[in-house]
Amino acid sequence: MTRLSPETLALLPADVARPAYDRAAMRAGVVHFGPGAFHRAHQAAAFDTLLAHDPRWGITGVSLHSQGVAQALNPQGGLYTLALLDAQTRYRVIGSVSHVLTGTEPPAILAALAHADTRLISATVTEKGYCLGADGQLDPEHPAIAADLAKGREDGWVPQSFVGWLVQGLAARRRAGLPGVTVLSCDNLTDNGRKLEAATLALARELDGDTAAWMADHVRFPNAMVDSITPATDDALRAQVQVATGLEDAWPIQREGFTQWVIEDRFAGERPALDLAGVTFAADVRPFEMAKLRLLNGAHSTLAYVGLGLGHETVAEAMRDAPLAAFVEQLMRDDIAPAVVAPPGLDLPGYIADVLARFANPAIRHLLSQIAWDGSQKLPYRLLGTVREALEAGRPIDRLAVPIAAWLRFLEKAAHEGRTITDPLAEELLGRAADWRAVLAMPAVFGPLGHDARFIAAVGQAHEALAQGRLPG
Ligand code: CS2
C-alpha cells in the first residue's frame, strides 16, 4: 500500500481535503510541545487553515518523552489524516506540521526555540506536564524540576521538564537578541497561561535572573480555552482512513466536528490571524475556561468513573444509560452551573444541552478508560473547585461527591485486582486505595478540602450509595 507523503498527496480522492497552500514555501513560526492527537486534531488544523493565507505559521513539533509521533509523521513529511466524525465522516489531510523533533535531539530543539522565524511556542503537555503542586505553583520537589534546578546553571544542560525547556529556549533568544515570543498553553488547566507564566518565571529566577527580567518585556503567556472531543486512534480508524484515502497513514487521528479555541488577546509581537480559522480572541478567557472545564470536563470525568463502575465502555454508551445520563444532566444544571460565571452571551442551559448532545454522538467511540487517566491531575480543575465553592456558598454537595467517590472506587478496584492505572501518582494512590479516607488525605490532590468534615461525610455517603448500586438523586 502506498504511504501518505508530499509525493503521494496528488493521489488522494477528490473528496479528501488537503493543504490549500504550497508546503515548500511554509516557514516554522510555531514550536509546539506535545504534538499528540489533541494538538494535531485541534490547533494544527487551525494553523492548516491559516497557512492558506500566511505561509509563516508552520509547526515544528517537539515530543520530549516519546518517539512514536516523530517515527510516524517524519517519513510522511509531517502529513497526516484527520477524520471528522459527524453523521457523515469527512477526511482532511493536514499539512501544518513540517517536522517532529524528539527529546533525543536537544540541540535541534534549542535551535527551533531560538530561531528568528519562531513567534509562538505552544503546548499540550497535559496537566502533569506543568509539574505544579496542589497550590498551582511550580513544585520544586517534582523530580524533573529538581533535576533542572540542580543542572540548570551548567553550560549545555539538557532540561528534563517542559518548563525547563522554556527557560532554556527563552535564555537563548535573549542572548541572540531575538524579538519576544508568545508562549501559549492549550491544556485543560484553569488559568493555564498565568500558571505557566508563574512556573516559568519561578524556574528562571532560580537559574537565570537576566532571562527572568527579560521575560517581563519580551514574553507573553495568554490564557486559552481549547475544546474538541478527540478519541485516541484505534485500528478501526486506521482501516477506515486507508479505505477513504487509498493511502497508508501511520498515525491518522479523529475528532468530533465541533471545535472551539478562545485565546486571550495578549501576544508578544505579532498575533497569528487565527480568527481566519474560527478562533476567538477575547480580553478575558477565564469565563470560557470555567464553563468548559467545570461543565464539559467535570461531566466527562463523572461519566468516566461512574460509567466504568457500571460496566460501560464508551461515553456514548454511558449516555444511553438513562439514569446515568439523567444524573449527569442534573449534576451539570443544579450543582455545577451555579458555580460557573458564564462568558458574556453564553446561555448556560443551552451550553449544557449542546455538551450532552456531543457526548451522545453515536459516531464517536470515546473510551471512558481514556478519560479516566490522570484523575489526580484532572479532578482538582474539573470538580474540586466547584465543591469548594458550593461549600463556601452553603449549597449541597451530595451529587458532586458522587464522581469523587466513583474515582475512589475505581482506584480501590484496580488495587484489589492488582492492576496499575495511568496516573503520575499511581503508586501512592493504589497504595492507599483500600481506605478511601487515606486517599482524601493526600494534600497533592485534595489540599485542605480533604480534611473538611462535610466533604468527607458526603464522599462517604456517595461511596456507600455506589457500593449498593444507587445513584443519589
Ligand atoms: C477529556 C478531554 O480525556 C479527557 O479527560 O475530558 O480530553 C475532553 O475530551 C476535551 O477536553 C474536550 O475538549
Residue 306's CATH number: 1.10.1040.10
Ligand 1 in reach of 300 Cβ (< 6 A): yes
Question: Is residue 323 located within the same domain as residue 374?
Answer: yes
User: What percent of the chain has a predicted confidence (pLDDT) above 70?
Assistant: 100
Nearest to 4 by CA among 234, 238, 235: 238
Strand, helix or coil for residue 72 = helix
Residues 6 or more apart from 252 whose CB is under 8 A from it?
80, 81, 82, 83, 233, 237, 238, 241
In a domain, 1, yes or no: no
| Domain span holding position 438 | 286-467
Last residue of a domain, one of 238, 253, 282: 282
For residue 302 and ligand 1, the question of a CB distance below 6 A is answered with: no
pLDDT confidence band for 433 (50 / 70 / 90) = very high
Q: Do the beta carbons of residue 100 and residue 73 sit within 8 Å? A: yes
pLDDT band at 12 (very low <50, low <70, confident <90, very high): very high
Specify the number of domains making up the chain: 2
Distance, CA of 173 to CA of 236 (rounded, Å): 44
pTM of the complete model: 0.96
Q: Is 227 in the pocket of ligand 1 (CB under 6 A)?
A: yes
Instruction: From 258, 282, 306, give the residue that closes a domain.
Output: 282
Output the domain CATH number for residue 18.
3.40.50.720
Residue 151, C-beta contacts closer than 8 angstroms, at least 6 positions apart: 157, 158
Q: Which atom of ligand 1 is nearest to the CA of 227?
A: 13
Residue whose CA is at the smallest distance from ligand 1 atom 11: 227
CB atoms within 10 A of CB 66: 11
DSSP for 252-313 reads -EEEES--EEEEES--SSPPP-GGGGTPEEES--HHHHHHIIIIIIHHHHHHHHHHHHTT--
Give the number of the atom of ligand 1 that is nearest the alpha carbon of residue 301: 6
β-bridge pairing 90-94 and 80-85:
antiparallel
Cβ 186 under 6 angstroms from ligand 1: no
Whether residue 258 is found in the same domain as residue 308:
no
- Return the ligand 1 atom nearest residue 366 CA: 9
Does 274 lie in the same domain as 318? no
Look at residue 446 and tell me whether its pLDDT is greater than 80: yes
The per-residue pLDDT for range 244-265, each reduced to its tens digit, is: 999 999 999 999 999 999 999 9
Please tell me the distance between residue 157's alpha carbon and the centre of ligand 1 in angstroms. 34
CB atoms within 10 A of CB 389: 15
C-alpha cell at 131: 509539574
42 CB less than 6 Å from ligand 1? no
Is 437 in the same domain as 371? yes
- Identify whether residues 128 and 179 lie together within a single domain: yes
Assembly ipTM:
0.99
Q: How far apart are the CA of 41 and the centre of ligand 1, in A?
A: 12
Indicate if 323 and 269 belong to the same structural domain. Answer: no
Residues 322 and 200 occupy one common structural domain: no
pLDDT in tens, 38-97: 999 999 999 999 999 999 999 999 999 999 999 999 999 999 999 999 889 999 999 999
Same domain flag for 255 and 300: no
* CB within 8 Å of 175: residues ≥ 6 apart: none
Boundary of a domain, candidates 253, 282, 311: 282
